[in-house]
Amino acid sequence: MSTEPGLRQRRKDASPKNESKETVTAGRATSGPVSVRSILLLSLAAVSFYIYQNAATVRSTLNLWAGYSDSAQLYWGGEVDFVPDLEKRDAVGEAMLHAWSAYERDAMGDDEYHPISRTGSNLTEAGGIGYTVVDSIDTLLIMGLDEEYKRARDWIENKLTFDQDAKFNTFETTIRVLGGLLSAHHLTDDTMFLEKAKDLADRIMPVFETPSGLPLSMVNLAKREGVPDVDNKGLVSTAEVSTLQLEFRYLALLTDNETYWEKAEHVMSLIKKAHISTGLASIFMNPEDGRFVLAAIRLGSRGDSYYEYLLKQYLQTNLTEVVYKDMYDDAMNGVHNHLIQKSQFAKLTYTSELIPERNRMGEVSWRLTPKQDHLVCFLGGSLMLGAVTTGAVTQPVSLPPRPEELSPQGQRDWATGIELVETCMRTHDTATGLSPEIAHFRIPSDNMDGTRAPHDWYIKGDRPGAPAPYDARYILRPETVESLFVAYRLTGNPRYRQYGWDIFQAIEKYCKIEGGGYASILNVDRLPIEHEDKMETFFMSETLKYLYLLFEDVNVLPLSKYVFNTEAHPLPIFHPTIRTGFS
């Protein structure tokens, strides 16, 4: 896929690094009056402390000096730079090789990898389903890692079987494995991938056999049976049922089998029918009656990719299915009216959650909770992409878009998208430069004054000496770099590359395991760091892919021709031959 020679080829050609070894001659300290030196040191300490306490303010002041006024940030008028940065791209490629080689050495074929113990494990005792191999294979292809790709392909052809008598998560299996196979098929035209994809999809299809047609959360792949999620009383999560559509629709196109399309599309018609008046969706639905149940409303876990796929279904079929534009626009109005907030001090744009509460009379009220999952960081890029498509008054819009090319809603979404990307970057203002799993934004009622928390946000439960709370982890998630990739492709603004590079450097510094692979860390705001022995499959599938593409030639996988599924597997945009069955 690269327009440049593959990474292996480039590595052979690479000349030794020109490392300049600066010799510093330590001079003797000038023996000035002690008091002057002390004053200088004290002032330096005071300035450093002020910068630490007021990182966001200092950063915005520096941005203003550098010419990034608020409006300039929104409609980038600076130099548009779409030139590939091959050195940085290849550094990310080397990271992929470091991750993949360790997995291949220690755990080839296993679903998951543990880089510290150098072991692999499977999701169930029945056996693996190619979770890591299939999730990573298109990244190997895109990066030109041809030998690794060939071995991965051979493993899929000869060793992978979906005949596993155990229950697997419907959504995760679809986005990682079915999505990975479809993407590999598209990039190579190799029918082996399509055959495997059909086999897997046919084993998943029985999940749709419920009274409503909403798919069950789990599936037994050997028995071809949907299995209810007893932990959640048989309910299904909204994001999970509504994040299968890109994959099943593309499979329908490739196989001419409309059933895949119809089953997946029926879910969307149910969601439209069950419509909550705000345009938002609660995070659980009932597969018996196809309705929403009273539950939290949020853009984070169990909600996130519902919003993502509303837009992407509209994009996948080349802006032809207006029903998805309407549903997406409605949802984004709900997001703006109910979930978007400004932080107390630095006025950062963030998203909150709505939690339902019942009083003794059974009446429901909604509590606004200022909690933003790292997962929500997909939204910045998504809003920007929506602004130049559903929010455009002309097609195609310029890159970057001019305000007059966008509708009022498009302008609103563009602005919010850019602001959310900035906020997600501010959640990287931690000891490691990495963002936590969950950030809580400060509100007056939380009794956190400025002396206890230096930021507009904090990590709940993070106390000196106490074990790291769940919220403090960084598990190699992709959402911020996903948005940086989209923001860069739509603007050519080099600041997004710089942000991506900063995150990549932090990953290299704190998550890289010398013996091979990368590991999650338990607390992004504590040094020295502690690792957790796990490299999530989305690190190779998404995080490294988006970082690589951030520095790659923009003609590789252009957003005008591709939609990325929620696991970063690129699927082509096409013109549908099947008509939308609902409006």
Would you say 259 or 301 has its CB closer to ligand DMJ? 301
- Among residues 112, 247, 437, 525, the one annotated as catalytic is 437
Question: Which residue from 93, 566, 570, 571 is in contact with ligand DMJ, where contact means CB under 6 A?
Answer: 566
Distance CA 272, CA 329 (A): 13
Q: How far is the CB of 478 from ligand DMJ (least distance, A)?
A: 6
Please answer whether residues 428 and 59 qualify as being in contact, where contact means their C-beta atoms are separated by less than 8 angstroms. no
* Distance (Å, whole) CA 417 – CA 382: 7
Residue type at position 61: T
Which residue number, 346 or 439, has a Cβ lying nearer to ligand DMJ? 439
From 247, 304, 419, 471, active-site residue: 304
Shortest reach from residue 542's CB to ligand DMJ, in Å:
6
Q: Which of residues 505-564 bind ligand DMJ (CB under 6 A)?
A: 538, 542
* Sign of the CA dihedral running 8, 570, 424, 133: negative
Q: Which residues contact 146 (CB under 8 A, 6 or more apart)?
A: 6, 8
Q: Count of CB atoms within 10 A of residue 27's CB?
A: 6
DSSP state of 111: S
Phi-psi region of 93 (alpha: psi -120 to 50; beta: other; left: phi over 0): alpha
Strands 284-286 and 349-351: unpaired
Verify whether residue 199 is a known catalytic residue.
Answer: no
Asked whether position 478 contacts ligand DMJ by CB under 6 A, the answer is yes
User: Closer CB to ligand DMJ, residue 76 or residue 539?
Assistant: 539
423 binds ligand DMJ (CB under 6 A): no
- The encoded tokens of residue 508 equal 């290299």
Residue 479: active-site member = yes
Among 462, 479, 536, 567, the one annotated catalytic: 479
304 is annotated as an active-site residue: yes
Work out whether 567 is an interface residue with ligand DMJ (CB under 6 A). yes
113 is a contact residue toward ligand DMJ (CB under 6 A): no
Phi-psi region of 221 (alpha: psi -120 to 50; beta: other; left: phi over 0): alpha
Asked if residue 245 binds ligand DMJ (CB under 6 A), the reply is no
DSSP state of 176: I
CB 249, min distance to ligand DMJ, A: 17
Closest of 488, 537, 500, 545 to residue 145, by C-alpha: 545
Fill in the amino acid letter for 402. R
CA 251 – CA 258 distance, rounded (Å): 9
- ∠ Cα 570 177 567 (to 5°): 45
Tokens found for residue 92: 């990310």
Question: Among residues 172, 321, 456, 462, which one is catalytic?
Answer: 172
Of 34-42, 125-133, 466-474, 477-485, which segment contacts ligand DMJ by CB under 6 A?
477-485
The verdict on whether residue 566 carries a ligand-binding annotation is yes
HSE, CB side, 13 Å, CA atoms: give it for residue 570.
Answer: 21
348-377 residues near ligand DMJ, rule: CB under 6 A:
375
Angle at 182 between CA 178 and CA 187, to 5 degrees: 150
The window from 144-152, 251-259, 358-366, 472-480 that contacts ligand DMJ (CB under 6 A) reads: 472-480
CB nearer ligand DMJ, residue 218 or residue 375: 375
- Cα–Cα distance for residue pair 471/462, rounded to 1 Å: 8
The structure tokens listed for 476 are 């190699």
Q: Which amino acid, one-letter code, is at 405?
A: E
Choose between 60 and 237: whose C-beta lies nearer to ligand DMJ.
237
Using CB under 6 A, count the residues that bind ligand DMJ: 9
CB of 172 to ligand DMJ, least distance (A): 7
Looking only at residues 305 through 344 of this chain, which bind ligand DMJ when binding is defined by CB under 6 A?
305
Q: Determine contact, residues 161/176, Cβ cutoff 8 Å.
A: no
Determine the interface stretch with ligand DMJ among 281-289, 473-481, 499-507, 524-532 (rule: CB under 6 A). Answer: 473-481
Contact call for residue 90 and ligand DMJ (CB under 6 A): no
Q: Nearest residue to ligand DMJ, using CB?
A: 566
**CB under 6 A: which stretch of 126-134, 228-236, 471-479, 503-511 binds ligand DMJ?**
471-479
CA 247, CA 263: separation in Å to the nearest integer? 12
User: Rounded to the nearest whole angstrom, what is the least distance from the CB of residue 296 to ligand DMJ in the complex?
Assistant: 17
Q: At closest approach, how far in Å is the CB of 12 from ligand DMJ?
A: 34
The least CB distance from residue 197 to ligand DMJ, in Å, is 18
Q: Does 477 bind ligand DMJ (CB under 6 A)?
A: yes
Which residues make Cβ contacts (< 8 Å) with residue 162, sequence separation at least 6? 129, 196, 199, 200, 203, 221
Q: Least separation, in Å, of the C-beta of 136 and ligand DMJ?
A: 13
Q: Which residues bind ligand DMJ (CB under 6 A)?
A: 305, 375, 477-479, 538, 542, 566-567
Q: Extract the annotated binding site.
A: 566
Q: Extract the annotated binding site for Ca(2+).
A: 566
Active site residues: 172, 304, 437, 479
